[in-house]
Every structure is written in C-alpha cells, then in structure tokens.
Amino acid sequence: MTGATLAELRAAAEAAGGMRVAAFALSPGAPAPETLPGARVVALLSSGPRMWAEFRASPEAGDGGPDPLDRWSSRISAQLASDFGGVAIGPNDGPPWPPFLDWARRAEPVWPSRLGPLVHARLGLWAAWRGALGLPALEGVAPCPEPGPSPCLDCPAPCLSTCPVAAFAETPEGPRYDVAACAAHVASPSGAACLGRGCLARHACPVGGEGAPRAEQARFHMKSFLATRDLVN
C-alpha cells in the first residue's frame, strides 16, 4: 500500500484482529533490523480490548492444533504485512530472535519493572506484543515521547509481596523469577486463584490495569504456561 499512514494501519489492525499498533521510524542511515530486512519503520502489534473475542472466533482457536494464539497472531501479522507492503515477524520467530522489548521501548510508554517484564503506562504489566511489521515507509509516525520517571521508583512494590510462593525477587543482578516454583504452584490445588485470574503479582501493580485479562483469557494463558513446563491442570 503506497503512501499508507499509521492511522490506516491502526484501523486495519483493529478490524483484522482487535490489535493495537505502536510504531517507530529508524533514523536516516541506520541499518534495518536483522530480523526485518528492508524496514524503515517497525510497527508493533499488541493485544487490544477486542483481541480475545477475535481470536476465540478464529479457525485456529477451534482446530485442536498446537499454539493456536501464536498461529492466529502470525496469520494476522502476515495479512497486515502483505496489505501494507512489508514483512512480519513474531516474538518466537528465530534465531535470530527479534528484540521485541527493545522495540517496545522505542515505540511505547514503558519502563523496566521490578518484576522483570516491562510496565506500560496504560496497560501496567499486561502489555503483550503479538507481532511486528517491518515496513518501507509509514506516514504519521512520530518519535515516542520520553515516558518520564518510572512509576516503580516511588512504588511500595505490592507486585513483589503478592505472589503466594515468592517467585519474584529483586537481587543485585536484577529481577529474579523462579519459574519452577511458579509453575508448580499454579498446577496445584492451592494455585486455583492464579490459574483462574492470571498472575496475582501482575494484578497487584497499581499502574494501568486496562490490559488485565478476563477469566477465560487468563486461564488460557496460564494453562499454556503450564503446558510449556509439561504440567497439566
């Protein structure tokens, strides 16, 4: 699509899959990302309010195949890339692995959190980037304003004290996440609240909340997490 605008891409992503779009342009002369050859603009696709309903109505959600959400996200990303003359990539497409978190810092109002994941000004700890497009051009892309001081600086950090098994901690080397303890708890009878609502530590974050999943979506993600650990519930 010649002369496409960011507003047009946002409308198309919303219509195709309830996706949000944030984008940044590469500086003149800067090389294209290794994983997005030829790109001069990187557009990130993330979950919007309608994303879950769109996915649940998709063929991938009901075909019984593995990784239905990832396959659906890849299809939507590829469709948008084709329509706008670019290339698409997902977070799990690699090696080389695409630097989604670095891209998010250039396109979105985010900061590193004390848990580890990025915290988003509106979505809190629930921002989820489902794909990225590398585009030769896109009109209307402005530099992302500096997000300002991190909200974690003066926060009492309820995220660190809420986890029932203390899976998260701050260390001199940075945030620590005990994946095994987390998964074992979620898979156990005592982990019913985590399984049914999603990560309680993320829910405790006072920033954002607009992106928190509803129960069905939360359970889907938690069961997918357990499946990666060869655990079932």
In the three-class reduction of DSSP (H, G, I as helix; E, B as strand; rest coil), residue 179 is classed as helix
Strands (E), 86-226: 87-89, 110-112, 118-120, 129-135, 168-171, 174-177
Which pTM does this prediction carry? 0.93
In the three-class reduction of DSSP (H, G, I as helix; E, B as strand; rest coil), residue 37 is classed as coil
pLDDT tens series, the chain, 233 aa: 668 999 999 999 999 999 999 999 999 999 999 999 999 999 999 999 999 999 999 999 999 999 999 999 999 999 999 999 999 999 999 899 999 999 999 999 999 999 999 999 999 999 999 999 999 999 999 988 888 999 999 999 999 999 999 999 999 999 999 999 999 999 999 999 999 999 999 999 999 878 899 999 999 999 999 998 876 65
Q: Answer yes or no: are the C-beta atoms of 13 and 19 closer than 8 Å.
A: yes
Q: Answer yes or no: are the C-beta atoms of 201 and 191 closer than 8 Å.
A: no
* pLDDT tens, residue by residue, 10-66: 999 999 999 999 999 999 999 999 999 999 999 999 999 999 999 999 999 999 999
What is the model's pLDDT at position 198?
96
